[in-house]
Amino acid sequence: MLSYEIAVIGGGPAGLCAAISAAAAGASVALIEKDRHLGGQLVKQTHMFFGSKAQFASTRGIDIADILSRQCEELKNITVLLGATVLGYYDDQVLTIEQDNKVQRVKADCLVVATGASEKVLPFPNNDLPGIYGAGAVQTLMNVYGVKPADRVLMVGAGNIGLIVSYQLLQAHVKVAGIIEAAKHIGGYLVHASKIRRAGVPIMTGYTIKKAYGERKVEGAIVWQLDDRWQPIPGTELDIPVDAVCLAVGLTPMGELLWQAGCQMIYVPQLGGHVPFRKATLETTVPGIYVAGDVAGVEEASSAMVEGRLAGLAAARRLGYHNADWENKYQDALQQLMALRSGPVGEKICSGLKCVVV
């Protein structure tokens, strides 16, 4: 059985940064990723990031994935396991992992769980038709694999993902019939919304999808308007012929491993679903199990990276890796998180965190 001081589960922005900061502090780290490459969902983010320089502002997500992967390779005390899916965690601190159709066991003194989030679905008739896709799914298809996802798309949801993916669809020569948003206001950054509107794509707020239609795949969607009490208004239906409907209606944390490990969980809508209670160090109620990134609360990649740094540092310290530099790095990460969450968008996150930080 292989043995490491820290096992980081998930090689996305949070997991990469956790592995790098823990290894730089001196710990031996296994970075376990189910995909065949590192980077998580950064590998499809063609847009430039916001935030500050410490979180790679003005750099495209795809390039951040490369930078972090290289930093990981340079640290000799990180072992990267690719194509490796964690199946379970046991009381004697053993993880079972499936890799290349074989099950193996890995022992780790500490865990950093950075498993991310999955796309939510919206209930409406025919939402199971082929052609109803998660917005992230079309992003993967076009940006990672270079396959045109559809000819004409209806985007549901005007948060940042809906806006950014709509723009990226245009870049891939896909027509975007429109973006509908149930709320009265656009949820995402206006800089993204303006870009989309300049390109001639209508953003219809106060609209939701009534149903999709099509024989064996999507041929169109009926949308209708909502009143002030979120009730649909009969007679306002519009028929939008499209061959794909993208749902950008939010993400929910993938906390299965945390449940199984016995971490105390709570449902917090502001954080996207069930999330673990945690200390400021990101340690859960199970000593030695830390969380970082979307699994701790759906936010964005910039804060996921900083949370990863924080959790990696805290796990390393628990194992006795502590020097003069440690405190500076830890305080710096805390400061960065505060700055990232200081704007109006951060208010929702902060109100959610109040329910879970113990």
Cβ proximity to other proteins, 195 vs 348, nearer residue: 195
Cβ proximity to other proteins, 147 vs 280, nearer residue: 147
Cβ proximity to other proteins, 112 vs 138, nearer residue: 138
Instruction: Please spell the DSSP secondary structure of 198-227, one letter per residue.
Output: HTT--EEETEEEEEEE-SSS--EEEEEEB-
**Shortest distance, position 162 Cβ to other proteins, whole Å:** 16
* Chain residues in the site for other proteins (CB under 8 A): 34-36, 41, 46, 60, 62, 118-119, 121, 128-134, 136-138, 140-143, 145-149, 171-173, 216-217, 254
**Shortest distance, position 6 Cβ to other proteins, whole Å:** 24
Cβ proximity to other proteins, 214 vs 312, nearer residue: 214
Q: Which of 204, 5, 212, 193 is nearest to 123 (CA)?
A: 212
| Helix (H) or strand (E) run with residue 240 in it | strand 238-240
**Shortest distance, position 216 Cβ to other proteins, whole Å:** 5
**Shortest distance, position 137 Cβ to other proteins, whole Å:** 4
**Shortest distance, position 172 Cβ to other proteins, whole Å:** 5
Cβ proximity to other proteins, 185 vs 216, nearer residue: 216
What sign has the CA pseudo-torsion 143, 146, 149, 150? Answer: positive
Strand pairing class (244-247; 132-134): parallel
**Shortest distance, position 70 Cβ to other proteins, whole Å:** 17
CA distance 16 to 39: 7
CA distance 302 to 57: 9
Cβ proximity to other proteins, 53 vs 173, nearer residue: 173
Q: Residue by residue, what is the 3-state secondary structure of 20-53?
A: HHHHHCCCCEEEECCCCCCCHHHHHCCCECCCCH
For residue 129, the SS3 value is coil
